[in-house]
Amino acid sequence: MKYLVAILVAALLAVLDVSVMQYVEILGVTPDLVLIFAASWAVVRGQQEAMVIVPLIGFVEDLVTSDPLGMSTLALMPIVLLAAATRLRAVDTEFVPTVLVVACGSLTYGIISMTVLAITGQTVDWDQVGLRILLPACLVNALFTPLVYLPVHTFSGQDRSNAIGTRRLISPL
């Protein structure tokens, strides 16, 4: 059931991405709600669920974009690894790790997408993409993380008081 809900939410966000988000252009890029959702789910719900849901979310995203099917699945894959790495963290919160996973995931997503596009014969402007697309995408997606993270956190049945997690610092060691 939870997987079905996640796929439906991902489908809705993917439709929002291609329809409404074009009007929300910041620093020349638009926020990728699907990527933020995948990262939030992976951090909040854990690696086991992320290993199932993140590839499905990628597949859903490709269905409504012009990308070849499978590209987003491949490009979102590092998010699962990044989410696993956030187990070693120094703060008692899932919010900060989620923001970090979103930022780093945006970077890896862009690099893998560009590689796939280049392999499939499309022109990729490697000189321009780093400064004009990848870095702004990291910032903008990180900025929009609370919009997606908070509902995911709330519906995961976790304590609302530590959603942002400003209570204490813990040592990863």
Partner 1 sequence: MRLVWWLATVVAISVFAIFLSEQRMLDPVQNLSLTVSAPASGGLRDAARPVDDLFRGITDRGDIVQENRDLRQQNEALEQALAQQQDAQQRVRELEEALGVKQGQPEDQLLAANVIAEDTSGLKRMIAIDRGLGDGLDEGMVVLSRGGSLVGTVSRAYEDFAWVRLITDPDSTVNAQVVPAPSPQGSPAASDVIIGATPTPQPAGASPGATPAPTPAPTPVATAGDQGSSLRGVVEGDLRHGLWLDLLPPDLTLPEGSLVSTSGLGGNYPRALLIGSVEAVEQRPQSPFTSAEIEPASSLSGLDTVLVLLSFTPARLTEQ
Report if residue 108 touches partner 1, rule: CB under 8 A.
Answer: no
Question: Which is nearer to partner 1, 68 or 151 (by Cβ)?
Answer: 68
Q: Report, in Å, the least distance between residue 20 CB and partner 1.
A: 4
Report if residue 114 touches partner 1, rule: CB under 8 A.
Answer: yes
Report if residue 74 touches partner 1, rule: CB under 8 A.
Answer: yes
| DSSP track, 70-99 | THHHHHHHHHHHHHHHTTS-SBS-SHHHHH
Question: Which is nearer to partner 1, 91 or 129 (by Cβ)?
Answer: 129
Report if residue 141 touches partner 1, rule: CB under 8 A.
Answer: no
d(CA 126, CA 46): 34
Which tokens hold the place of 10?
Answer: 């991902």
Report if residue 115 touches partner 1, rule: CB under 8 A.
Answer: no
Report if residue 97 touches partner 1, rule: CB under 8 A.
Answer: no
Segment interacting with partner 1, rule: CB under 8 A, options 36-44, 67-75, 141-149, 150-158? 67-75
Report if residue 150 touches partner 1, rule: CB under 8 A.
Answer: no
Residues found near partner 1 in the complex (CB under 8 A): 11, 14-23, 25, 28-30, 32, 51, 55, 58-59, 63-71, 73-74, 77, 80-81, 84, 110, 113-114, 116-117, 120, 122-125, 128-129, 132-133, 137
